[in-house]
Structure 1
Amino acid sequence: MKKTITIIGSGFSALSASCYLANSGFDVTILEKHKTVGGRARQFIKEGFTFDIGPTWYWMPDVFEKFFADFGKKPSDYYHLDKLNPAYEVYYNELDSIKIPDNLPEIVSIFEKEEKGSAQHLESFLDNAKHNYDVAIKDLVYRPGISITELITPVTIKKANQFFSTIRTSVRKKIKNNRLQQIMEFPVLFLGAKPSNTPSFYSFMNYADFGLGTWHPKGGMYEVVKAMVTLAIELGVKIETNQNVEKINVANGIVKNVISNGKLILSDFVLSGADYHHTETLLDEKYRGYSEKYWDSKTFAPSSLLFYVAFDKKIENVSHHTLFFDTDFDVHAKDIYDNPKWPEKPLFYASFPSKTDSTVAPDGKEAGIFLIPIAPGIEDTPEIRATYFENIIARFEKLTNQKVAENIIFKESYCVNDFVNDYNSYKGNAYGLANILTQTAFLRPKIISKKVQHLYFTGQLTVPGPGVPPSIISGKIVSDLILKQLKNENYETTI
């Protein structure tokens, strides 16, 4: 008889794990709280406009290709990808921006134009970044974070100094132009930490940026969710929506069942892709692996104030992805990590997917997503949201030299309270646990429950960390661990 596994949540990590486990012979059921699947990567559709509620960047295409290849598939079987050119644009002052092309020779040329001699430094930096990428993405990130020995290899021993120096140090050692420094330090924001706290080994994110490029799935990131759902169903996964998991029951130290919508669901294994902290609150206290003090002591990636905005005209002087670095990043970062509060002069990001994709907005109109990174756990009110929207729209108009406020058809906001209410997110964080040195690999919350047999975790609060590709990898890691436990217990699954 097949072993059963109940998976809580349907984000990227949960969907990834469901495919691997179903393909290996498990009877897999996903329980999703919302009426649609995808977790934080859901969609918002209104009046002909389509917005990705969560992730909007498609980086590391090789990770997606590897995932689908594990099932004899490829991304193009499910969705169409366009490589963006420019990959993104960075604004510094009024009509003063740098566009990052889709190829390395042009990027090198832009750097040299900005700072004489920087091209050589960039090429050297990226040679090391590519090597780090090959070490990390092809090996280290697929390790389960059980022991420090996972990180000790002949290659990592040679690179040990890169775990104790920072991205900021390595970038600024040779490149002195502040605009270029910000472009180089920007990619590690996907890891949820300050460049001054992120090990320089994570320069592999720069290779992901400049070397592999930025892509867009036609229809938005939700097309990737739909692809994974289609694959999961093809493999036999059952997906139940509108399911609110209220309790995880344990007997004699082994998980026995979950209660969802008041109904008891027996299961041989339980895997949670939901918020790790929240999942443990579903257990009796004696079975929780981490205390409230533990969670409160951790460094979390930022939360976000997001606006989904429909415009009745096309927006000028912007790219699909546009970053606004017209204020001091270090000051904003301190308001996130050092002294959590609402920033006085926030940096912000805007995405206009309709620049690339005609399917996400009516003809002649524009879909815009605006994001301000903020500290998790801070006060969130309608008045605060309104104030910050006025702030960034006024700056946006000045920087891009156009009027847009009067062209808004509608706008919706999303912030700390929504992350808590929709995803049970700890302190309303948006991206999970930051990948600083003391929260890397074996130092992150464990994939295997510390106190309950047959209970596992996956996603951005455990290994390997924040981001869509790491979440997909997390699903692979946890499924391998579950299958290993089955083998150790001499169980058999029926394929």
Structure 2
Amino acid sequence: MKKEVSIIGSGFSSLAASCYLAQAGYQVKVYEKNSTLGGRARQYKQDGFTFDIGPTWYWMPDVFEKFFADFNKKPSDYYKLERLDPAYQVYFGENDSIIIPGNLEAIYKIFEAEEKGSSKHLEKFIKSAQDNYNIAVKDIVYRPGLSPLELVTPETMVRVTQFFSTIRKQVRKNIKSNKLIQILEFPVLFLGAKPSNTPAFYNFMNYADFGLGTWHPIGGMYMVIEAMVTLAQSLGVNFTTNATVSSIKINDKNAVEGIVVNDEFIKTDLLLSGADYHHTETLLPNNLRQYSEKYWDNRTFAPSSLLFYVGFDKKLINVEHHTLFFDTDFDVHAKSIYDTPEWPEEPLFYASFPSITDDSFAPEGKEAGTFLIPLAPGIEDSEELRNTYFDIIINRLEQLTGQNVKESIIFKKSFCVSDFVEEYNSYKGNAYGLANILTQTAFLRPNIKSKKVKNLFFTGQLTVPGPGVPPSLISGKIASDLILKTYK
């Protein structure tokens, strides 16, 4: 008889794991507390506009290809990808921006025009980043974080100094232009930490950026979720939405015997949680929790976010599909996230206008805009603060891009710290999980397999390998592989 595995949550990691386990012959049931599947990668629709609620960047396409190839499929079997060119735009001041092209040779020219000689340094930097990418993303990140020896390979040993230097030191060694420095330090923000705290080895994110490019699935990131759900269902996975898991029941052998879903006990052989790790452990008796409240409070978390989903009644000018506003001091903003948690006085922010690329996001002649301000997890969140910061970024958008947009706003919807807690049971309302700093890498992250409950496993951004969509796909594979190895 097939073993039953219950999965809590339906984000990228849960969906990936569900496919692998079903393919291996498990009877897989997924329970999602919200009304739609996808976890943080759900959709919001209003008045003919569509928004990706969560992730908007499609990087590292090879990770998606590898996932689907494991099932003899391709991404193109489910959705159409378009490589963005330009990839994105970065504003540094009024009418002062750099547009990053969609290919590496053109990027070298952009760098050289900004700082003479910088293209040679960039070429060397990207070669190092590509080598690190091939080591990290094609091998090391697929390891389960069970032992520090997983990080010890001939390739990592010759690069050991990169683990004890930082991205910031590496970038600033040869590049002097502050604009180019900010562009090169930006990708590690996807890892949820400051460049000054991120090991230099993680420059592989710069290869992901410049080398592999920025892509857009037509219809948005939710098309990837729909593709994974379709694949999972074809493998026999069963999904239940509006399913709140309120308790994990343990037998006298310290093994999961079942879960309570909407006040109903459901028996299961194995449990895999793709929900917030901290929240999942609160569903257990105190003595079976691996990590204390003090442990979680002392972790370095990636930021939370204040997000706005905005419908405009006209097309916007002087912006690209992805536009970054780095016209204020990054270090000051980062301090308000990581060092002295508070609302930033002059926030950096990011805007996505997918309707520039994809007509499905907005009615003809209109624009869909998603705005994001990184914030410290756990800070005060109120409607008044949200509105104050919306005015700040809209004023900046108008000033920096030289256009009036306020009168063209049809509607706005916000999503912030308290929503992350309410919608996803997110610890302190974090948006991206645990930051990938040296002391929270690989075996130093919370365990994939519980050390106290025999048949309880975890997946997602609070365990290995870390935050981001591609790492979440990888986390689902790691968790499923460990389950299959444990119960072979």
Q: TM bucket by the smaller chain?
A: over 0.9
Other-structure match for 1:143: 143
SS of equivalent to 1:15: helix
Other-structure match for 2:286: 285
Other-structure match for 2:470: 469
Q: Match of 2:169, as an amino acid?
A: T
Unaligned runs of 5+ in 1: 488-495
Q: Once the 2 structures are TM-superposed, how far is the Cα of residue 351 of structure 1 from its aligned partner? A: 0.2
When the two chains are superposed, the root-mean-square deviation of aligned CA atoms in Å is: 0.4
Other-structure match for 1:117: 117
Q: For the residues of structure 1 that align with 2:85 and 2:406, how far apart are their CA atoms?
A: 27
Query: What aligned pairs does 1:339-418 form with structure 2 within 5 A after superposition?
Result: 339-418=340-419
Other-structure match for 1:14: 14
Other-structure match for 1:130: 130
Question: Are 1:295 and 2:296 counterparts?
Answer: yes
Please list every run of at least 4 consecutive aligned residues from structure 1 whose deviation after the TM superposition is greater than 3 angstroms: none
SS of equivalent to 1:446: coil
Q: For the residues of structure 2 that align with 1:293 and 1:180, how far apart are their CA atoms?
A: 39
Q: Match of 2:340, as an amino acid?
A: N
Other-structure match for 1:485: 486
Q: For the residues of structure 1 that align with 2:296 and 2:393, how far apart are their CA atoms?
A: 32
SS of equivalent to 2:58: coil
Deviation track 1:5-54 (CA, whole Å, cap 9, x = no partner) reads 00000000000000000000000000000110000000000110000000
Q: For the residues of structure 1 that align with 2:370 and 2:451, how far apart are their CA atoms?
A: 40
Q: For the residues of structure 2 that align with 1:153 and 1:8, how far apart are their CA atoms?
A: 34
Q: Match of 2:291, as an amino acid?
A: Y
Query: What aligned pairs does 1:96-495 form with structure 2 within 5 A after superposition?
Result: 96-251=96-251, 252-487=253-488
Q: Match of 2:235, as an amino acid?
A: L
Q: For the residues of structure 2 that align with 1:45 and 1:382, how far apart are their CA atoms?
A: 21
SS of equivalent to 1:229: helix
SS of equivalent to 1:44: strand
SS of equivalent to 1:162: helix
Q: For the residues of structure 2 that align with 1:476 and 1:351, how far apart are their CA atoms?
A: 30
SS of equivalent to 1:249: strand
Q: For the residues of structure 2 that align with 1:256 and 1:188, how far apart are their CA atoms?
A: 41
Q: Match of 2:480, as an amino acid?
A: S
Q: Match of 2:188, as an amino acid?
A: V
Other-structure match for 1:75: 75
Q: For the residues of structure 1 that align with 2:101 and 2:256, how far apart are their CA atoms?
A: 51
SS of equivalent to 1:170: helix
Q: For the residues of structure 1 that align with 2:26 and 2:419, how far apart are their CA atoms?
A: 34
Q: Match of 1:202, as an amino acid?
A: Y
Other-structure match for 1:24: 24
SS of equivalent to 1:475: helix
Q: Once the 2 structures are TM-superposed, how far is the Cα of residue 147 of structure 1 from its aligned partner? A: 0.4
Deviation track 1:435-469 (CA, whole Å, cap 9, x = no partner) reads 00000000000000010011000000000000000
Q: For the residues of structure 2 that align with 1:308 and 1:450, how far apart are their CA atoms?
A: 41
Q: Once the 2 structures are TM-superposed, how far is the Cα of residue 356 of structure 1 from its aligned partner? A: 0.2
Q: For the residues of structure 2 that align with 1:138 and 1:316, how far apart are their CA atoms?
A: 39
Deviation track 1:95-146 (CA, whole Å, cap 9, x = no partner) reads 1110000100000011011101101100000000000000001100000001
Q: For the residues of structure 2 that align with 1:121 and 1:95, how far apart are their CA atoms?
A: 27
SS of equivalent to 1:413: strand
Question: Are 1:58 and 2:55 counterparts?
Answer: no
Other-structure match for 1:33: 33
Percent same amino acid at aligned positions? 70
Number of aligned residue pairs: give it.
487
Q: For the residues of structure 1 that align with 2:195 and 2:249, how far apart are their CA atoms?
A: 42
Q: For the residues of structure 1 that align with 2:317 and 2:185, how far apart are their CA atoms?
A: 27
Q: For the residues of structure 2 that align with 1:101 and 1:450, how far apart are their CA atoms?
A: 47
Q: Match of 2:330, as an amino acid?
A: F
Other-structure match for 1:491: none
Deviation track 1:215-239 (CA, whole Å, cap 9, x = no partner) reads 0000000000000000000000000
SS of equivalent to 2:136: helix
SS of equivalent to 1:466: coil
Deviation track 1:302-345 (CA, whole Å, cap 9, x = no partner) reads 00000000000001000000000000000000000000000000
Q: Match of 1:304, as an amino acid?
A: S
Other-structure match for 1:492: none
Q: Match of 1:5, as an amino acid?
A: V
Q: Match of 1:340, as an amino acid?
A: P
Q: Match of 2:343, as an amino acid?
A: W
Q: For the residues of structure 1 that align with 2:316 and 2:469, how far apart are their CA atoms?
A: 28
Q: For the residues of structure 1 that align with 2:15 and 2:268, how far apart are their CA atoms?
A: 18
Deviation track 1:338-381 (CA, whole Å, cap 9, x = no partner) reads 00000000000000000000011000000000000000000000
Q: For the residues of structure 1 that align with 2:41 and 2:326, how far apart are their CA atoms?
A: 26
Q: Match of 2:65, as an amino acid?
A: E
Q: Once the 2 structures are TM-superposed, how far is the Cα of residue 199 of structure 1 from its aligned partner? A: 0.1
SS of equivalent to 2:210: helix
SS of equivalent to 1:256: strand
SS of equivalent to 1:277: helix
SS of equivalent to 1:459: coil
Unaligned runs of 5+ in 2: none
